[in-house]
Amino acid sequence: MVVMRKIAMIMTLTLLGSMCAWSQTYRYEIGPALGVTGYLGDVNKSNMYKMPRVAGGGIFRYNMNSRFAFKGNLLYVNLAGDSKNIESKFPFDEHYSFTSHVLDLGGQVEFNFFHFGDGPRYKHYKRISPYIIVGLGAELAFANGNTSFGFVIPLGAGVKFRVKERLNLGFEFTMRKSFSDKVDGITDLYGYNHGIAKNTDWYSVAMFTVTYEFSKRCVKCHYIE
């Protein structure tokens, strides 16, 4: 009987250990981002990708649980525009073009539609999940010799895919509302002071991400993390 009890105890400990190892998740992710940008503003009011440019940088994500995550980003965003062939005319039919270099630093909250990751079957974890984004950030823009600072509100959606343990691929699209109205180097084009609420500058970032997870979180038993 003593031998049987020892065997049963060893088997139980082994099973619990294997369950813990199998249901391990990770708290943090870090990795590069690369994508395409678009611009809407005084120099382009219709086709956002009339003059596409590139964006690149890095992201850091804290996975609070399988549904919610907090993400920080530091991105370099290149934007461009040209007043040729646009419906709106500049005063005195002037021509204006610009190239803007933007440093975008921000944070977002992500909500996954599914329980994302690897984990216990009863939690219905998925290796792929769409998600939505809302956040707040700041921008430092350099356009045609002018420098401006402003706040940004990113709104968007994306999808994550677990390639294998600790390695994820992602794609997301965000529209970023700028509150400086100087991303394109000009403001109050027609002599009207629109104020913060009605400025015309937006830019988009459609980017791919590759992230690596670290800092293990072990799910020990029944709904306790």
If one counts every other C-beta atom within 10 angstroms of the C-beta of residue 16, the result is: 12
Domain extent at residue 137: 2-217
Whether 83 is in a domain gets the answer: yes
Residue 222, in any domain of the structure: no
Look at 97 and 132; give whichever has higher pLDDT. Answer: 132
In a domain, 18, yes or no: yes
Helical (H) or strand (E) element with 143: strand 128-143
Give domain status of residue 145, yes or no: yes
Does residue 13 lie within any of the structural domains? yes
224 in a domain, yes or no? no
pLDDT at 30 > cutoff 80: yes
Within-domain flag for 96: yes
d(CA 58, CA 154): 16
Q: Percent of the chain having pLDDT more than 70? A: 76
- Kindly report the pTM of this predicted structure: 0.81
> CA–CA separation, 216 vs 182, rounded Å?
43
What CATH number has the domain bearing residue 46? 2.40.160.20
Residue 197 lies in a domain: yes
- When divided into structural domains, the chain yields a total of 1
Residue 197 has pLDDT above 70, yes or no: no
pLDDT for residue 87 is more than 70: no
Which string of b and e fits 136-160 if b means at least 16 CB within 10 Å?
ebebebebeeeebebebbbebebeb
pLDDT at 115 over 70: yes
* Residue 111 confidence class, pLDDT cut points 50, 70, 90: very high
